[in-house]
Amino acid sequence: MSRVNVSWIIAVLAVELATLSAARAHSCHEVKTAFQVRQIGQLKWVPETPATDVDLSVCKHAGPSCCTRRMEESYRAAVLRDTTQNIRSYSFELKYLISAHAAAFQDMFQSLISFSQNQLISLFETTYSSLMSSISPHIACLFTDLSRFLQGTGNVSVETAVHCFFDGLFPLVHTRIVNPGMAESIDADTSDNNQLGDCLRMTRQDVNPFGSHPKAMAKELADALRAGRVLSLALGVGSEVMNITETVELSKECTRALVRMQYCSHCRGLTLIRACSGYCLNVMRGCLASLSELHSPWRQYVTVLQDLSHMVAGAHNLELALLGIRGQVEEAILYAQLHGPRLTATVDKVCGHSSNASSSTVGTFPQTSVTPPPANISQDVPGADTIGMLAHLHREFTAYISRYKSFFAILPEMLCEAEMGVDELTCWSGDDVVKSYTARMVGNGVRAQRQNPEVRVRSVDPVLMDVKNKLELFNMEIQEVMPGVGHRESWDDTGSGESSGECDDEDGCEGSGESVASPPLTEADVPKKAGKVSVQDSPITGINPSSDASLSTASFIIIILALGLQWPFI
């Protein structure tokens, strides 16, 4: 192709581009298209050509405008809808993480309780079958109380549940194992026999027929299950916090700032240009100032969750305690057998019914048969092959929840990174197209917004402040119940991206806006939006970040040409 032909083609393209630009300068066609694609409102509200002296309250501009007052109202509704949805998209992933693991921990607890209950039932069925029918209700009561305790429902005491079980076990062991000849007599429905059973139950702790085993079992279960109960309650608190924060309302000042940032450029025909990154951060930090106040108590709350999860799974405490119930009960019964004569003599003195309950058989009781405990009873725990499941769940949970420790501090960055803030050759500053944002940048939190040039924060959201106070109170109460929980430095991570005070000049907050107050986010720091999460990406099954698809050369050229045609109205 000759140089003349090439020059001619370039000249023709230049003329066509100039003609198209001139036509567009007097048309609102692209604004109408964007209005329709984004489902902002009715197309009849968009004028065909830009007009002057338009009655606008937010997108005021001296030159021609493609916006009307009715369009501004639609833009207000659109930014409220879209921003709220974006916040909920990020919040949903954290909410799901908490609720799903709360259910997973409870399922694990209930599985261990069911397994332990079956093991205890098996003990009585195989070794103490004469007690099975009578002890069955006491077994059910014990494990029902343990289950309720772990769920955090009702005023249940582990120690009371354990001692109640042994109170019910004592009359059965005394009359059917230690003194088996009394079994028929004690089963007769008479007033004297009822009095003997009541006496044995009420004096069990004083008579101490089972030695130290009931107290040891009660203490071991109480210590192990307390962390599980508090973890269940703590996860419930987290779910409540997320339910409230995802419905946060945006102020009028925030709404105006969002309209100015996202749609005022449309009024000048600039439908493709994006907000400057620094500008977007200022707007979002102003809009989410009250939400950012949750950062400090939430950060400590996440550490509480990590510590509690570690206490539940560490050294397999809860698993060993539940799976060790069978062994503790068996050793307690063996203790009563070994001390049968002393036990009978003590009961005769305390209750006065043991020797007289069956006078025809006294002196004819067979010698007590004592089965010695296994030599390795402390190591050979039934169900030991299941140990380690909680540890796996703990590692999974702490790995995921640690990524959300600074969620409320980096939420503005996440919103800007994913939706609005882009670093291009030019960007929208709220007033004009610029090469870089030069206004002062502020940090997170309500106090920092006094210097915010984009959003005026008049007051603190009372709902969110109530959430903050409740979260702080919960963290304090955890400290009172379980001192040290929530302050483990080993869980602490630096570089979280929070910025809680005012942004000083030394922090790089003034200038072009390219050096923001928070560290740059990595892909691992930014949770995906809920709408983009697949089954494989769920917090339970694992997160598999996918790389961004790169643009082809042709697509890049088309975008450059499109941006080049977006001239502001003169």
Q: Residue by residue, what is the 3-state secondary structure of 499-543? A: CCCCCCHHHCCCCCCCCCCCCCCCCCCCCCCHHHCCHHHCCCCCC
Q: Tell me the three state secondary structure of residue 433.
A: strand
User: Do 177 and 82 share a domain, yes or no?
Assistant: yes
Mean pLDDT, rounded, of the chain:
77
pLDDT tens profile 417-426: 865 545 568 8
pLDDT-wise least confident of 21-25, 395-399, 541-545, 562-566:
541-545
Instruction: Say which residue the tokens 């702490």 belong to.
Output: 398
User: Do 105 and 253 share a domain, yes or no?
Assistant: yes
Distance between terminal CA atoms of the chain?
39
Classify residue 375: in a domain, yes or no: no
State the pLDDT at residue 385: 54
**Does 383 or 491 have the greater pLDDT score?**
383
Classify residue 321: in a domain, yes or no: yes
User: Do 33 and 107 share a domain, yes or no?
Assistant: no
- Identify the domain boundary among 35, 70, 105: 70
State the pLDDT at residue 362: 36
Query: What Cα–Cα distance (Å) separates residue 21 from each residue in 14, 25, 26, 333, 434?
Result: 10, 6, 9, 95, 20
Q: What is the pTM assigned to this prediction?
A: 0.72
User: Do 268 and 149 share a domain, yes or no?
Assistant: yes
Classify residue 230: in a domain, yes or no: yes
pLDDT tens profile 486-542: 876 443 443 333 333 334 333 333 333 333 333 333 334 434 444 332 323 333 223
User: Do 404 and 305 share a domain, yes or no?
Assistant: yes
pLDDT of 79 > 80? The answer is: yes
Distance from C-alpha of 164 to C-alpha of 141, rounded to nearest angstrom = 9
pLDDT of 343 > 60? The answer is: yes
User: Do 252 and 133 share a domain, yes or no?
Assistant: yes
Classify residue 167: in a domain, yes or no: yes
Classify residue 367: in a domain, yes or no: no
- Identify the domain boundary among 15, 44, 70: 70
User: Do 169 and 245 share a domain, yes or no?
Assistant: yes
Which domain covers residue 120, as residue numbers?
71-359+389-564
pLDDT tens profile 129-168: 999 999 999 999 999 999 999 988 878 899 999 999 999 9
Classify residue 372: in a domain, yes or no: no
pLDDT tens profile 22-77: 334 568 888 988 988 888 888 888 888 888 767 888 998 788 889 988 999 999 99
Distance from C-alpha of 213 to C-alpha of 210, rounded to nearest angstrom = 6
Band of residue 363 on the pLDDT scale cut at 50, 70, 90: very low
pLDDT of 373 > 60? The answer is: no
User: Do 30 and 170 share a domain, yes or no?
Assistant: no
pLDDT tens profile 464-493: 999 999 999 999 999 888 888 887 644 344
User: Do 416 and 498 share a domain, yes or no?
Assistant: yes
Other CB atoms closer than 10 Å to residue 233's CB: what's the count?
17
Classify residue 373: in a domain, yes or no: no
Classify residue 552: in a domain, yes or no: yes
State the pLDDT at residue 418: 66
Q: How many domains does the chain have?
A: 2
State the pLDDT at residue 400: 93
Contact present, 540 and 462 (Cβ < 8 Å):
no
User: Do 36 and 175 share a domain, yes or no?
Assistant: no
User: Do 135 and 276 share a domain, yes or no?
Assistant: yes
